């Protein structure tokens, strides 16, 4: 390749950015605008044409994959090994700290604790402090500590920042002990790598000056995703002066404020929006030519994102043809929505890998998995597991399997310590050995008082509680609706509360999936109100078995919109375009919430290269509750000239593009019903109602209402058991498990 042949492959704006080497530079790189090519060509230009030594260049990004790709591309352009720091933020900071850790009173051989190590430290601290980890999980504390480090809030200042109530004081105490433990162990966590590097620069001016003089050219990828501590790190390095005392500020940041979708995990959009304020005189180059999508797709994306107030003024364009309009389909319910998408994939045909279904929450994947499996369309779930493979679903199904068949040792081993009951691996091995000796099931051993009494008091209590739950629900399973049994197990096992106490994004996603499993149960109850647990488990087992086919590269991709960033597909489906689902209900509680959701919608639209479908359902059963829905705020914002209604069931959608303009305001959007919160409340309420029934004083002759069997008359009442005459049969019911109330 000639000296500047690589520049000839760039468009005018890309070339302008690549050849702009001195002073602060902001490259606003829209989706599909060739930012990686521009960045690598800029590095090559610095080295080949400007004579800059690779030693004097620092380029940082967020992932090892991105860093590796850039390093390989640069090497292809300059034709030799790349002796420069082209690293992730954490890798760059780790290199610096390895040389100077003693200045912060660490040994240079300090350990870097991963999440497992961190959790072990916090668990030990909680034990020493007498904190119940069932109420406050280690993950909860680690989330708070990570946030504090990102915001530079020290352990001793936690309460000053958040108040001096009981909870804050407890968090501060754990945070302080955590910090002390890591120091004592000569260890840092991933957040420390950034934080301690900034502290090093602040503490020792000579060290800062050394790296400022070394890194005369700084480049930062995905700048819109940087948090406060990352911003501070690069700004300190960039605030350098030349030998004449003039500010050098050779910093180039690349990003797109319209694709800032990670504020929930610390990203601060102000970093990119206020770049010119931080670096006066900065040059701004906009990469607006898109090489991915058709003109109509780009116009649709812009018609949505332009409603955001906090954004840079730019608009993607393309030399490509207009292409197809956006197809919109309004289904009757989520099953018709999934069926429509699967049928469209079949209709178009070709390689399945060309199709992607991008949804807002993981819980949505279930109906699409079932619809695709039914039509024998191969699929794979990226960024997550298939619905029935998810840990929380397998766990709760094992509880139900045990209720149906308590000899199921495999199911028991899975959930014996889920949630935590103080039953470790060695204890389980002892119990399994005892079962093998006696030729019994593992559950039978749990019922043996002599065996259980030899365990620790915590393990003994946990086993007794678990065995009691399985025995009681096993005895009553034929008298209970499936949904009642499910709610009771979820609450009384402590599984739901354990997740709620974790208070993490991951735990919240698991709760969403568990609440969505109620939709599965309600679907079967509607089909057959008298369906028993055994038949239900058989149906699910068969479905899950079909669902677990081997991954095939030529498969439809299912993934969340967050996971799709950076990817592209010829054909994209965006289902669930309804207020409360997308945008999610939480977005309406924060001033900037709707803007971030709108950016996520923009990201989803710009993943499509040739065709884009958006769908919604007039009625949706989610988290076990069926509701009428309102079409998404974002559908109302789309330019109606870019959308066409389409139906495959010999009917048009309920509402086509022309019907969107119904006076809805993006500034005052509809406040959706919080379905997830409602589902959790109803689950707990139902379990509490069954417990309350045990306290009722039932007498012969009392009229009662049972959720499954209807109205009846009490014939006999003995302790916690009543015998009731219903219209078709006489039933014995255990109070505390039967969903029954006195009329």
SS3 at position 351: coil
Select from 396, 625, 585, 407 the least CA-distant residue to 494. Answer: 396
Q: Are 603 and 300 in contact (CB under 8 A)?
A: no
- Cα–Cα distance measured from residue 220 to residue 27, given in angstroms and rounded to the nearest whole number: 10
Cross-strand bridge partners of residue 556:
379
Cα-based distances in Å from 93 to 100, 230, 239, 266, 364: 11, 10, 17, 18, 39
- The answer to whether the peptide bond before residue 419 is cis (omega within 30 degrees of 0) is yes
Contact 657, 645 (CB under 8 A): yes
Which position has the token pair 């030399």? 319
The candidate with the shortest Cα–Cα distance to 369, out of 509, 538, 543, 522, is: 543
Peptide bond between residue 583 and the one before it cis (omega within 30 degrees of 0): yes
**Sign of CA pseudo-dihedral 399, 405, 406, 407:** negative
Nearest one of 88, 58, 65 to 225, comparing CA atoms: 88
Q: CA 218 to CA 237: how far, in whole Å?
A: 8
Q: Can you say how many angstroms the Cα of residue 110 is from the centroid of all Cα atoms in its chain?
A: 31
Whose tokens are 């090994």? That residue is 81
- Find residue 111's DSSP bridge partners: 187
Is residue 563 packed enough to be buried (19+ CB in 10 Å), middle (13-18) or exposed (0-12)?
A: middle
Which residues pair with residue 520 across a beta bridge? none
DSSP code at position 653: -
User: Could you give the strand order of the β-sheet that contains 85-88, starting from the edge strand earlier in sequence?
Assistant: 85-88, 57-61, 217-220, 251-255, 25-29, 283-287
Coil, helix or strand at residue 28: strand
Minimal CA–CA distance to 297: which of 573, 31, 612, 599? 612
CA distance 504 to 372: 31
Q: Are strands 111-113 and 740-742 parallel, antiparallel or unpaired?
A: unpaired
Cα(427)–Cα(423) distance, integer angstroms: 6
By C-alpha distance, which of 741, 721, 742 is closest to 733? Answer: 721
Strand partners, 628: 619
Residue 506 has, within 13 A of its CA and on its CB side, a CA count of 12
- Produce one character per residue of 75-92: b if its CB has 16 or more CB atoms within 10 Å, e if not: eebbeeebebbbbbbbeb
Q: How far is it, in rounded angstroms, from Cα 232 to Cα 270?
A: 13
Could you tell me if 6 and 40 are in contact, meaning their C-beta atoms sit under 8 angstroms apart?
Answer: no
- What is the distance between the alpha carbons of residues 594 and 186, in angstroms, rounded to a whole number? 43
Neighbours of 339 (CB within 10 A): 20
Report d(CA 719, CA 735) in Å as an integer. 9
Give per-residue burial for 566-582: e unless 16+ CB within 10 Å, then b: eebbebbbbbbbbbbbb
Euclidean distance between CA atoms 543 and 545, whole angstroms:
5
Catalytic positions, written as ranges: 35-36, 221-222, 259, 607
Can you point out the beta strands (E) in 292-424? Answer: 326-331, 355-359, 379-381
Residue 84: closest CA among 94, 75, 93: 75
CA 239 vs. chain centroid, Å, equals: 36
The two three-digit tokens of residue 300, written as one number: 């649709």
Beta bridge partners of 164: none
């Amino acid at each position: 390749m000639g000296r500047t042949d690589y520049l000839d492959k760039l468009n005018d704006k890309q070339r302008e950015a690549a050849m702009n080497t001195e002073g602060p530079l902001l490259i606003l790189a829209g989706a599909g605008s060739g930012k990686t090519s521009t960045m690598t060509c800029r590095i090559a230009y610095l080295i080949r044409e400007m004579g800059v030594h690779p030693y004097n260049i620092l380029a940082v990004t967020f992932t090892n994959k991105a860093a590796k790709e850039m390093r390989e591309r640069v090497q292809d352009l300059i034709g030799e090994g790349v002796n420069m720091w082209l690293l992730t933020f954490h890798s760059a900071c780790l290199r610096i700290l390895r040389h100077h850790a003693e200045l912060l009173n660490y040994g240079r051989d300090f350990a870097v604790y991963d999440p497992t190590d961190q959790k072990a430290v916090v668990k030990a601290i909680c034990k020493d402090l007498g904190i119940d980890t069932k109420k406050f999980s280690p993950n909860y504390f680690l989330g708070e500590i990570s946030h504090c480090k990102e915001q530079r809030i020290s352990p001793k200042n936690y309460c000053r920042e958040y108040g001096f109530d009981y909870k804050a004081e407890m968090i501060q105490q754990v945070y302080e002990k955590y910090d002390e433990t890591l120091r004592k162990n000569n260890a840092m966590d991933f957040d420390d790598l950034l934080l301690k590097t900034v502290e090093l620069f602040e503490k020792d001016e000579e060290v800062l000056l050394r790296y400022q003089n070394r890194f005369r050219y700084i480049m930062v990828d995905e700048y819109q995703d940087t948090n406060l501590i990352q911003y501070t790190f690069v700004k300190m390095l960039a605030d350098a002066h030349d030998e004449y005392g003039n500010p050098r500020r050779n910093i180039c940041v690349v990003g797109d404020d319209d694709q800032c979708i990670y504020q929930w995990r610390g990203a601060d959009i102000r970093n990119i929006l206020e770049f010119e304020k931080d670096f006066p005189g900065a040059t701004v180059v906009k990469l607006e030519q898109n090489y991915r999508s058709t003109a109509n797709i780009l116009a649709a994306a812009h018609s949505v994102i332009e409603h955001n107030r906090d954004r840079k003024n730019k608009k993607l364009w393309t030399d490509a043809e207009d292409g197809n309009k956006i197809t919109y389909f309004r289904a009757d319910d989520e099953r018709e929505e999934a069926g429509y998408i699967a049928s469209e994939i079949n209709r178009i045909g070709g390689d399945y890998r060309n199709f992607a279904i991008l949804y807002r929450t993981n819980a949505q994947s279930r109906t699409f998995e079932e619809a695709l499996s039914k039509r024998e369309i191969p699929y794979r779930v990226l960024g997550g597991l298939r619905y029935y493979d998810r840990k929380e679903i397998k766990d709760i199904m094992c509880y139900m399997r045990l209720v149906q068949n308590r000899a199921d040792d495999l199911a028991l081993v899975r959930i014996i310590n889920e949630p935590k009951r103080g039953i470790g691996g060695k204890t389980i091995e002892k119990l399994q050995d005892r079962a093998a000796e006696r030729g019994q099931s593992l559950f039978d051993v749990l019922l043996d008082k002599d065996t259980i009494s030899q365990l620790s008091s915590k393990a003994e209590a946990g086993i007794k509680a678990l065995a009691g739950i399985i025995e009681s629900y096993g005895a009553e399973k034929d008298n209970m609706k499936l949904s009642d049994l499910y709610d009771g197990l979820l609450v009384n096992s402590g599984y739901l509360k354990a997740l709620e106490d974790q208070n993490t994004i991951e735990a919240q996603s698991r709760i969403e999936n568990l609440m969505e499993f109620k939709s599965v149960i309600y679907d079967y109850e509607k089909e057959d109100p008298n369906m028993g647990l055994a038949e239900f488990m058989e149906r699910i087992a068969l479905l899950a078995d079909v669902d677990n086919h081997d991954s095939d590269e030529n498969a439809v991709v299912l993934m969340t919109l967050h996971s799709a960033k950076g990817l592209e597909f010829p054909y994209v489906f965006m289902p669930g375009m309804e207020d409360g689902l997308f945008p999610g209900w939480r977005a309406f509680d924060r001033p900037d919430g709707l803007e971030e959701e709108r950016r996520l919608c923009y990201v989803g639209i710009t993943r499509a290269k040739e065709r884009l479908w958006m769908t919604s359902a007039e009625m949706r059963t989610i988290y076990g509750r069926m509701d009428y829905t309102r079409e998404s705020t974002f559908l109302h914002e789309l330019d109606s000239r870019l959308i066409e209604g389409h139906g495959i069931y010999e009917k048009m959608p309920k509402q086509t593009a022309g019907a969107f303009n119904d006076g809805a305001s993006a500034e005052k959007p509809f406040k959706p019903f919080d379905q997830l919160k409602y589902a959790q409340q109803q689950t707990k309420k139902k379990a509490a109602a069954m417990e309350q029934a045990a306290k009722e004083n039932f007498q012969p002759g009392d009229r009662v209402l049972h959720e499954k069997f209807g109205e009846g008359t009490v014939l006999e009442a003995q302790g916690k058991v009543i015998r009731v005459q219903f219209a078709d049969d006489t039933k014995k019911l255990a109070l505390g498990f039967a969903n029954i109330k006195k009329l």
